[in-house]
Amino acid sequence: MVEPDVHQLQIAMIGTKREEKLLVTSEVAIDFLGTEAARVLSTPHLIGHLEMTARNSVKLLLDPGHDTVGTQVNVTHLAATPMGMNVTFRSEVLSVEDRRINFKVEAFDEKEKIAEGTHQRAIVNVAKFATRVAAKAATV
């Protein structure tokens, strides 16, 4: 399989934006504080949704057989979002360096900005990546 033309990807991706929404439910809320009133969107779920919004923004621009994996996350969780509130996740491609895609990410609930930061994803050939992962797993 031919590897993607990085220069063409840079041109196509820079400035690409995506927005996704999520209703905060018990499945994505913390429950360890002991009171229902304190159930809010968990930081791991916040980061996971920011990552997937970034991934989904560029997935269709990649050659068949390619995808991205997260390599770096630098996110500040600014405010709590209670269950029942909607969250909007946003990503924007800032730059592409070799196979690394750098994103600005942020999230807003119905009242305020709840997160901001940067995220990096690496473009991978899925078949080659799976082979490397299988070889590593076989050493355990």
Select from 84, 83, 56 the least CA-distant residue to 68: 56
Task: Check if the beta carbon of residue 140 is closer than 8 Å to that of residue 134.
Answer: no
* Residue 140 pLDDT level (bands cut at 50, 70, 90): confident
Prediction pTM value: 0.90
How far is Cα 104 from Cα 119, in angstroms, rounded to an integer?
A: 6
What is the 8-class DSSP label of residue 27?
Answer: G
pLDDT > 90 in the chain, percent: 84
Structure token digits, residue 68? 């991205």
Q: What is the pLDDT of residues 84-128, one digit of tens each?
A: 999 999 999 999 999 999 999 999 999 999 999 999 999 999 999
Task: Check if the beta carbon of residue 29 is closer than 8 Å to that of residue 44.
Answer: no
User: What are the structural domains of the chain?
Assistant: 6-137 (3.10.129.10)
Do the bridges between strand 100-108 and strand 86-97 make them parallel or antiparallel, or are there none, so unpaired? antiparallel
87-100 burial string, b = 16+ CB within 10 Å, else e?
bbbbbbbbebeebe
H-only helix segments in the chain: 6-13, 43-58, 126-137
Active site residues: 43, 51, 77
